[in-house]
């Protein structure tokens, strides 16, 4: 399931993530894989989000990111994940807000998404990971039709945790390789043009 990269520098993210994933492994093992009720929660601009644990490959601390020019703002860059080059998406920017600022707790969640038959690893930049939660199906509400300030098709559901809502992401949509490619297509990719196009697309879909 999950795998944690051991870095020399002590990092606040690591302890939390290790513990979270270690617990989840035990729980998930006994569960049916088709109905993931295990979620990894993380914070983004003060808000709590969750994504199905089965998509999560590993969590690493932020560092050594190479920016790729002429890409929309939400494509933060690429990192070297043990020899393979993995793109990193700034989730906050993908949702149309401003780019995430890097702090001591910033980390990258490596997520596995499928583009047809092909498996891709994509890194997701988040403010901090919190824990792995079990959210039973009856505690998950359908997403509101508007008002979440995130594209409706990005939301898989609203999980209720301790009386608060956690936005459960439809990660295949959020990280749809096809859509990202589309957003970066053609000459729009030159300079600010792409970012502008992306913003327009975002504005249109949120409206």
Partner 1 sequence: MDELKDELISVYVQESREQLDEMEDGLLRLEQDPDDADNINAIFRAAHTIKGGSGVIECGFIEQFTHRVENLLDALRNGEIAVSGPLATLLLECCDHMRSLMDVLVAQKSSPDDEVQVRGEELGNRLQIFIDSVRAATLPPVAASDAVEVESSGGGEVNTDSWHISVRFGQNVLRGGMEPLSFLRFLASLGEVVGIETVPDGIPAAAEMDPESCYLGFEIRLKTTASKIEIERVFDFVRDDCELRILPPHSKLDDYILLIQELPEDTMRLGEMLVRCGALTQSELERGLIAQQQATDATAEQEAAPSTPLGEILVGSKLVHKEVVDAAVARQTQVTDKKARDAQMVRVQADKLDQLIDLVGELVIAGASANLIALKSRHSELLEATSVLSRLVESIRDSALQLRMVQIGDTFTRFNRVVRDVSKELGKEIELSISGAETELDKSVVERIGDPLMHLVRNSLDHGIEPADVRLARGKPACGRVSLNAFHDSGSIVIQVSDDGGGLNREKIRAKAIERELIQPTDPLSDHEIINLIFEPGFSTADQVSKLSGRGVGMDVVRRNIQALRGTVDVASVEGQGSTFTIRLPLTLAIIDGFLVGIGRASYVIPLDSVVECIEHKNLAGERNFLNLRGEALPFIRLRDLFEIEGQAPARESIVVVQFGGQRAGIVVDQLMGEFQTVIKPLGRVFANLRGISGSTILGSGEVALVLDVAALVHIVTRAEEECWLMYRHVAPVSSAASIPPAILAGT
Q: How far is CA 192 from CA 25, 83, 155, 156, in A?
A: 43, 31, 28, 31
| CB closer to partner 1, 39 vs 154 | 154
Considering only 4, 45, 148, 189, the residue that binds partner 1 (CB under 8 A) is 189
Distance CA 173, CA 71 (A): 19
| CB closer to partner 1, 79 vs 202 | 79
What element of type H or E holds 182?
helix 177-183
DSSP letters, 84-117, are: EEEEEEEHHHHTTSPPPPP-TT-EEEEEEEEETT
Residue 163 is a binding residue for partner 1 (CB under 8 A): no
Considering only 33, 82, 138, 164, the residue that binds partner 1 (CB under 8 A) is 82
The binding track of 108-147 with respect to partner 1, each residue x by CB under 8 A or -, is -------x--x-x-x-------------------------
Considering only 79, 132, 133, 197, the residue that binds partner 1 (CB under 8 A) is 79
Residue 66 is a binding residue for partner 1 (CB under 8 A): yes
C-alpha angle with apex 110: 119 to 162, nearest 5 degrees?
Answer: 120
Which range touches partner 1 (CB under 8 A), out of 8-16, 61-69, 97-105, 163-171? 61-69
Which range touches partner 1 (CB under 8 A), out of 48-56, 69-77, 92-100, 137-145? 69-77
Which range touches partner 1 (CB under 8 A), out of 33-41, 48-56, 97-105, 183-191? 183-191
Handedness of CA 116, 184, 47, 19 (dihedral sign): positive
| CB closer to partner 1, 144 vs 191 | 191
Alpha helices, DSSP H, located in 2-156: 12-29, 91-94
Residue 192 is a binding residue for partner 1 (CB under 8 A): yes
Q: Residue 110: is it exposed, middle or buried by C-beta count within 10 angstroms (0-12/13-18/19+)?
A: buried
Sheet of 47-52, strands arranged across: 128-134, 38-44, 47-52, 164-169, 155-161, 140-141
Binding site for partner 1 (CB under 8 A): 64, 66-71, 75, 78-80, 82-85, 87, 115, 118, 120, 122, 177, 180-181, 184-187, 189-193
């Amino acid at each position: 399931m999950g795998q944690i990269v051991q870095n020399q520098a002590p990092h606040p993210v690591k302890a939390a993530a290790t513990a979270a994933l270690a617990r989840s492994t035990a729980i998930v093992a006994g569960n049916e894989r088709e109905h993931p009720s295990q979620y990894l929660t993380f914070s983004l601009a003060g808000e709590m989000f969750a994504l199905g644990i089965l998509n999560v490959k590993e969590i690493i601390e932020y560092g050594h990111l190479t920016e790729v020019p002429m890409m929309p703002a939400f494509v933060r860059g690429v990192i070297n994940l043990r020899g393979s080059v993995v793109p990193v998406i700034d989730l906050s920017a993908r949702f149309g807000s401003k780019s995430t600022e890097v702090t001591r707790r910033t980390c990258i969640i490596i997520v596995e998404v499928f583009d047809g038959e092909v498996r891709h690893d994509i890194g997701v930049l988040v403010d901090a990971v919190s824990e792995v939660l079990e959210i039973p199906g009856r505690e998950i509400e359908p997403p509101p039709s508007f008002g979440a300030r995130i594209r409706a098709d990005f939301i898989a559901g609203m999980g209720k945790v301790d009386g608060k809502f956690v936005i459960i992401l439809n990660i295949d949509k959020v990280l749809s390789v096809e859509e990202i490619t589309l957003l970066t297509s053609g000459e729009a990719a030159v300079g600010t043009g792409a970012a502008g196009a992306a913003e327009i697309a975002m504005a249109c879909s949120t409206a």
